[in-house]
Structure 1
Amino acid sequence: MSRKRLLCAAFAAVATVALVGGPAQADPTGTPTYRDIAIVGSDTTQTVMNGLSDAITVGGSKRLGSYDARGSETIKTKEAGCVLPRPASSGAGVTALVNSIEAGDNCVQAARSSSNNAASYAGKNLTYVPFAVDAMTYSVRGDSTLSKKLTTAQLKSIYNCTAPGSGTNFKPLLPQFGSGSRDFFLKQLGLTNAANYTTQFPCVSDIDVNGEPIQEHVGTYLTDTKHILPYSIAVYLSQVYGNAPAAQGKAVLATFNGVAPSQLNTASTFKRDVYNVIPSAKVADPTYAQVFVGNTSLVCANTGVITTYGFGVNPNCGKTDLVTPPAP
């Protein structure tokens, strides 16, 4: 299937998608400058949460302030103080939320997470609230020498360096450690995510040609026809259709386990919930509950915005009892 036909099929799969006039801002703009809820973290869900932060108002005032995973080194989330390093991943976002809770500084109220990484924060009293559905596949260049029709077993052998020609015929890439998509992808392959993963499996790289950490869902990292990279279907759609900054480069999405990437919400093998993480103590707080909790919450009610950014509607949107961290 040609790239054009593949994208048309994928676009049809999220049938209620409506194009908007360009991507939402990287950090909150307009009034109020500082919002009741500052949310940071996942690269995967930053653009849809930016869109929701523009759409959600209470009494005519925007309630959410969403800060991108990439941009300036620091962000400022409140009028007084609250200058902090920009969290660049799901893990970094949740850690920033935990740090804010423990410091009692109210600088970060919520975190974006593209995976259920609650086990890493046992005892931190966090609630993972699902709000949309994404799916992952792998990407290669359009002119790649690699197959665009692999299975889980084949992909696992590539990422644990047991495939014939690992490091030569196959040059697998991963996003940086802390990425929720990296964590989800490796777990789905039956592999254990770790900071030293690329040391354990040296045919895999999470560093680009400039020695910088690889970011999620950026197709321009595919500089070699033998490169292979995990990719969010929703983010790819947003990039192609202009709702997120164009970063796909020459990347094309592959058919995985016999399922075309157009099957975002139905047959996709690596389908996943994506989450907003809030303090468990705030689940019943009116400010948080109105925005995040329950299928009538302001986030869940904005299905048009969610699908505009390539994500699927989640039947469990707003539920607070699905992800329970284990006891410390």
Structure 2
Amino acid sequence: MTRKRNLIAAVAMGLLTAAISVSAATADPSGAPSPRPLNGVGSDTVQGVENALANSITDSSGKKVLGSWDATGSATITTVPGTAACTITRPNGSNAGRTALETSLQANDGCVQYARSSKLDLTTAAPVPLTYVPFAIDAVTYAITSNSNLPRQFALTDIQAIYHCDANYVGTGPNYAIKVLLPQAGSGTRSFWESVVGIQDSDVVAGHYPCISDTANGAPIEEHDGRVLDANSIAPFSIAQYIAQSSNTITDHRGRAVLGTIDGLTPVVENNGFGITREVYNVIPSSKVGDPSYSSVFVGPTSKVCTSQTIINQYGFATDPNCGSTSSHT
């Protein structure tokens, strides 16, 4: 109990207000062919590696196959030029990507062919059967700032207590000592982290955990953006994203963020050895699993995605022994 109260006291002494300006670079598909045969939208966590795969994977004639659209940027995207139905609100997050895919499949408009997802969702009813095809392994830990008043090491039980707004850890409202953060609604990382800490998103939305916030300066918190953190904040962070940002493989949005150790396990490259891991997915229509235009790219260990392990590892993800599996479907 003394350790918990000391944590609150340390955070309270260092309480400050961070003025953060969040921006995001985009890397939407450009150049021939336009449109790409397979347009994908959704998760921010995997967009960097997907963009790299899109620039690498070609068909037998050398033409690029994938069009991976960023989660943030302009308000709308046009996946098929000249087709009004294919100008859509930019999908941000795993949920939004899946919704855009479902909408396109129901309309049969050819606007979206797959979705990027950092979570497996087989419980939500799908109007069109979908298959979640894993291609890499990520891990998630907590992030704080380098000058944080919070420890760099926690037990998972401590993290769970913090996200349950346990007063012994975070103090009491309305001015909680610790700023407990989640990324924007619909984020796969948000859903995954909620499962790790043992809370329901519906309870977060309903305000049952009043110490938790998913906004900064009135704007939704984009996942894996350390610039929203101050010395009293804590947020989930993809280890793969942190690795890729630290090497400038993708745009560095870490700010002063550093990764914390959970249960003595240090977050490192090839993160399938970390305790809190997840697969990441390309979501495709189940009806297309046997279609060569899809299967050659996504399905099976010899698919073009699964044989691109150098790229996958370069972006901080670990090799998934189940890459290309089609066993998970709605």
TM-score for the superposition, normalised by structure 2: 0.87
Alpha-carbon offset, residue 170 of structure 1? 1.6
Q: Which moved more, 1:91-100 or 1:197-206?
A: 197-206
Show the 5 A alignment for 1:42-57. Answer: 42-57=43-58
Cα 1:283–1:259 shift into 2, 3 Å: same
* C-alpha contact 2:272 2:318 (8 A) present in aligned 1: no
* C-alpha contact 1:114 1:274 (8 A) present in aligned 2: yes
- 1:79 aligns with 81
Q: 2:165 is aligned with what amino acid? A: C
C-alpha distance in 2 between matches for 1:251 and 1:265? 18
C-alpha distance in 1 between matches for 2:269 and 2:201? 26
Q: Which of the two has higher C-alpha Rg? A: 2
C-alpha distance in 1 between matches for 2:215 and 2:206? 9
C-alpha distance in 2 between matches for 1:44 and 1:195? 24
1:273 counterpart = 2:279: yes
- 1:324 aligns with 329
Alpha-carbon offset, residue 127 of structure 1? 0.2
Q: 2:160 aligns with which of 156, 169, 188?
A: 156
Q: 1:63 is aligned with what amino acid? A: V
Cα 1:267–1:198 shift into 2, 3 Å: farther
Q: 2:177 aligns with which of 156, 169, 180?
A: 169
- 1:252 aligns with 258
Q: 1:204 aligns with which of 212, 228, 236?
A: 212
* SS at structure 1 position matched to 2:128: coil
The root-mean-square deviation of aligned C-alpha atoms, in Å, is 1.7
C-alpha distance in 2 between matches for 1:244 and 1:266? 21
Q: Which moved more, 1:88-97 or 1:115-124?
A: 115-124
Percent identity between matched residues is 45
C-alpha distance in 2 between matches for 1:182 and 1:198? 16
C-alpha distance in 2 between matches for 1:195 and 1:26? 35
* C-alpha contact 2:239 2:271 (8 A) present in aligned 1: no
Cα 1:163–1:195 shift into 2, 3 Å: closer
1:94 counterpart = 2:98: yes
Q: Which moved more, 1:180-189 or 1:262-271?
A: 262-271
- 1:27 aligns with 28
C-alpha distance in 1 between matches for 2:221 and 2:55? 28
Task: Give the unaligned 5+ runs of structure 1.
Answer: 1-23
Q: Which moved more, 1:232-241 or 1:121-130?
A: 121-130
Alpha-carbon offset, residue 324 of structure 1? 3.5
Alpha-carbon offset, residue 69 of structure 1? 0.2
Q: 1:160 is aligned with what amino acid? A: H
C-alpha distance in 1 between matches for 2:97 and 2:298? 17
- 2:8 aligns with none
1:140 counterpart = 2:144: yes
Q: 1:270 is aligned with what amino acid? A: I
Alpha-carbon offset, residue 91 of structure 1? 0.3
Q: 1:189 is aligned with what amino acid? A: V
Alpha-carbon offset, residue 195 of structure 1? 7.5
Cα 1:170–1:111 shift into 2, 3 Å: same
* C-alpha contact 1:154 1:163 (8 A) present in aligned 2: no
Task: Give the unaligned 5+ runs of structure 2.
Answer: 1-24
Alpha-carbon offset, residue 264 of structure 1? 4.4
The total of aligned residue pairs comes to 300
| Structure 1 consecutive aligned stretches of length 4 or more whose deviation exceeds 4 Å | none
